[in-house]
Amino acid sequence: MGAYDKTVGVLLVGIIFNTYLYGLVTYQFLVYKNTKFNDPMWIKSVVGALFVVDTIHSTVHIPLVYGDVTTLTLIFFQGSVRSLGNMRDKLCKPVEFSFWTIPFTAVATSLAAVFTQFFLGHRVYKLMRNRVLTGVIAFFSCSGFAFGVYSGVRSGIIKEVAHFAPLTPFVICWLGSQTIADLIITAALTYALSRSRTGLRRTDSIINRLIRGAIQTGLFAALFALGDLFSFVFHRDTNLYAMFAYPIGRIYTNTLLDTLNARAELRRLSTADISELEHELTDKRKTREESHTLGVMDSGRSGHVAVGHVKFWREENLTVGSLR
Query: pLDDT for 257-282, tens place per residue?
Result: 988 888 877 777 666 555 554 555 56
Helix (H) or strand (E) holding 219: helix 201-234
Residue 115, pLDDT > 70, answer yes
Across 287-299, average pLDDT: 56
Mark 264-277 as b/e (b = at least 16 C-beta within 10 Å). Answer: eebeebbeebeeee
Residue 203 clears pLDDT 80, i.e. is over it: no
Confidence of residue 233 (pLDDT cuts 50, 70, 90): confident
Reported as a single tens digit per residue, the pLDDT across 167-191 is: 889 999 999 999 999 999 999 989 9
Question: What's the confidence (pLDDT) of residue 131?
Answer: 92
Can you give the pTM of this predicted structure?
0.72
CA distance 10 to 247: 12
Higher pLDDT, 77 or 216: 216
pLDDT confidence tier of residue 70, bands split at 50, 70 and 90 = low
Q: What are the structural domains, with CATH classification, of the chain?
A: 2-260 (1.20.1070)
pLDDT at position 274 is 53
